[in-house]
Amino acid sequence: MPKKFLNYVNNNPVIISCCLCGAGTRKEQAPTVPYTPEEISDQVVEVAKAGAAVAHIHVRKDTEVNGNVIVGYKSMAIEKFTETVELCRKKCKEAGVDIVINLTTSGGEYEDEKRLQHLGKLKPEMCSFDPGTLNWANSYIFENSPRFLNKLGEEVVKQNVKPEFEVFDTGHIDSVKYYCDKWNIPQPAYYQFIMGVGGAMPGTAGNLAFLVDKLPDGAIWSVSGIGKAHMPMILAGLALGCDGLRVGLEDNVMYGKDENGNKIIATNKMLVERTIRIAKETGRKIATAEQAREILGITRHCLRDEG
């Protein structure tokens, strides 16, 4: 057992992030996954009320692909981001809830500028930062070129947006340090371990402990398990003293099985509520959005619709 785990107790409240829809989860898999700005913003309010401190947001758009119109296809359309974020801010204000908005930059085949344009326009408090390329599920290239990452590093500093460094494998930890040093990205860095993607690090407790042991001193870290790794990574993360836990229909659509062995499809609210119950059972408090900002060193932007 590495020395840093001999005293694994973390007295900070744990930050619960909810990734609502991602780019690939389909309603055929989970009818509860949100596609539209209205659906996404309604669920942001729901998970904020349930106790999530961060909402990780992708957007969808009906798109023609190979002659067929696909409803709710992945998108980096600025108009969809704008409508979604403005609705989230409006509805959260009306409901009297607070949540940190975290916008994806994982655009896949989209041009660099389309993956960055919403940061300057919408001023989110956080954004994703995928520090390396991988063969996702051994099926396609999840491309994050040095060209793009240098642009993203420059942009997060310019716009004062806190990056969520999504680490899928060991080498990504060194890449995070490289881009932080090169662009003077404010510390502490926030590492989000994404465990269980095919072609990357499998979601086991041993692998998570190995990754956490490689973190630089003072780093803040969270974990998410993809699919069947979902629950094991919640439990392992808490055992290792995580700063955050990420859940949501982007990463996992299964809640469990009923007494007859039938699958129970999750909602984002259900996943947040269960994770909070588990965290509390281990003695951890749950971070509010304001506490998450303090822990992560986030500057809350003054926006015209916040009053």
- Render 9-39 in DSSP notation, one character per residue: ---SPBEEEEE-STTT--TTT-TT---SHHH
Whose structure tokens read 């509805």? 91
Q: Which of 112, 149, 115, 134 is nearest to 23 (CA)?
A: 115
The one-letter amino acid code at 116 reads L
Tens of pLDDT, residues 185-228: 999 999 999 999 999 999 999 999 999 999 999 999 999 999 99
| Helix (H) or strand (E) segment spanning residue 180 | helix 171-183
Instruction: Supply the CATH classification number for the domain 11-298.
Output: 3.20.20.70
Q: pTM for the whole thing?
A: 0.95
Q: How many residues does the chain have?
A: 307
The one-letter amino acid code at 253 reads V
Identify the pLDDT of residue 3.
43
> CA-CA distance, 183 to 40, in Å (whole number)?
33
- In the chain, the percentage of residues whose pLDDT exceeds 70 is 95
> CA-CA distance, 133 to 213, in Å (whole number)?
22
CB 188 within 8 A of CB 219: yes
| Mean pLDDT, rounded, for 225-251 | 97
Residue 189 φ/ψ, nearest 5 degrees = -75, 145
Q: How confident is the model at residue 304 (pLDDT cuts 50, 70, 90)?
A: very low
Q: 97 or 65: which carries more pLDDT confidence?
A: 97
- Count each helix (H run) and each strand (E run) in the chain, helices first: 9, 14
Tens of pLDDT, residues 30-70: 999 999 999 999 999 999 999 999 999 999 999 888 888 89
Identify the pLDDT of residue 223.
98
- In the chain, the percentage of residues whose pLDDT exceeds 90 is 89
Tens of pLDDT, residues 273-291: 999 999 999 999 999 999 9
Q: How confident is the model at residue 7 (pLDDT cuts 50, 70, 90)?
A: low
Q: 301 or 80: which carries more pLDDT confidence?
A: 80
Cα R_g (the chain), whole angstroms: 18
| Mean pLDDT, rounded, for 11-19 | 96
Where in the chain are the domains?
A: 11-298
Evaluate if residue 103 carries a pLDDT over 60: yes
> CA-CA distance, 32 to 268, in Å (whole number)?
8
Q: What residues does 112 pair with on adjacent strands?
A: none
DSSP 187: S
Q: DSSP letter string over 105-163? A: ---TTS-HHHHHHHHHHH--SEEEE--S-EEETTTEEE---HHHHHHHHHHHHHHT-EE
> CA-CA distance, 297 to 189, in Å (whole number)?
9
Identify the pLDDT of residue 4.
53
In the three-class reduction of DSSP (H, G, I as helix; E, B as strand; rest coil), residue 243 is classed as coil
Q: 306 or 33: which carries more pLDDT confidence?
A: 33
Q: Which of 32, 152, 176 is nearest to 104 (CA)?
A: 152
DSSP 304: G
